[in-house]
Amino acid sequence: MSYEKTLEMLSRDDRFKATIYAMNTLLIHKGIYTQEEFQRLVVEWAQKPPVTANPSRPLKPAAEASA
């Protein structure tokens, strides 16, 4: 399947997820960062207060989020 055809069949959210997946895979394989560093940064981001009001991402205290 071509790249263009793939993009046509994916939703906007899925195109974004595919892009992030591809970028992270390349960066890990090239040794820019490790899987562990990536996972740590995801957890760090999740613990930060939301920039805008977003009920799907409620603020959690760091102690609760690390449990």
pTM of the model: 0.62
Residue ranges covered by each domain of the chain: 3-65
Beta carbons of 44 and 37 less than 8 angstroms apart:
no
The residue that leads in pLDDT, 30 or 61, is: 30
Q: What is the pLDDT of residues 6-55, one digit of tens each?
A: 999 999 999 999 999 999 999 999 999 999 999 999 999 999 988 765 56
Contact 14, 8 (CB under 8 A): no
Residue with tokens 């960062």: 33
